[in-house]
Amino acid sequence: MTPSLLTLLRKVDTPTVCNAIEVAQGKRGFDGFTRGTMLCSAPEEPAIVGYARTAKIAAVNPPTEPADVIRARRMAYYKYMADSPTPSVAVIEDTDYPDCIGAYWGEINTTIHKGFGLSGALTNGVMRDLGDVPDGFPVVAGSVGPSHGFVHIREIDTQVSVFGLVVRPGDLIHADRHGALVIPEDVIDQLEGAIHKLLSTERIILDAASQPGFDFEKFQSAWTAFEKARV
Domains plus CATH for the chain?
A: 31-183 (3.50.30.40), 189-230 (no CATH)
> pLDDT tens across 79-136, in order?
999 999 999 999 999 999 999 999 999 999 999 999 999 999 999 999 999 999 999 9
> pLDDT tens across 34-63, in order?
999 999 999 999 999 999 999 999 999 999
Q: For a pLDDT cut of 90, what percent of the chain falls above it?
A: 97
- pTM > 0.85: yes
Helix/strand/coil (H, E, C) string of the chain?
Answer: CCHHHHHHHHHCCHHHHHHHHHHHHCCCCCCCECCCCCEECCCCCCCEEEEEEEEEEECCCCCCCCHHHHHHHHHHHHHHHHCCCCCEEEEEEECCCCCCCCEEECHHHHHHHHHCCCCCEEECCEECCCCCCCCCCCEEECEECCCCCCCEEEEECCCEEECCEEECCCCEEEEECCEEEEECHHHHHHHHHHHHHHHHHHHHHHHHHCCCCCCHHHHHHHHHHHHHHHC
> pLDDT tens across 170-218, in order?
999 999 999 999 999 999 999 999 999 999 999 999 999 999 999 999 9
